Amino acid sequence: MITNYHICQSVEGALKNWTMREWRSIAKENNCTIDQAKETFWQYLREGKLVIPIGEPCNNFSYKTGCTGHVVGGK
């Protein structure tokens, strides 16, 4: 059996490890300031979201563990 998983980002990992360059990039993508982007990530943690999807969340997405997988066939 083959299972595909969508990727996600650890919210705490981003807050602890992202460089200013990464924060600038995410702020630019979302048309906000770096402080606003960081505050959004802190809000995710307050809401209990440990991970966030990269792109739109799939139909098997958990904000605690990420994508739970999609069986695509195989042996």
**Mean pLDDT of the chain, nearest integer:** 95
The pair of three-digit structure tokens given for residue 63, joined into one six-digit string: 């904000």
**Residue 12 in this model has a pLDDT that exceeds 80:** yes
The string of pLDDT tens digits covering residues 21-40 is 999 999 999 999 999 999 99
Write the DSSP symbol of residue 7.
-
CB 4 within 8 A of CB 72: yes
**Confidence (pTM):** 0.85
How many domains are there within the chain? 1
Measure Cα distances from 11 to 6, 48, 72, 73 in Å: 16, 10, 28, 31
State the Cα–Cα distance between residues 41 and 50, nearest whole angstrom: 10
The domain of 8 spans 2-73
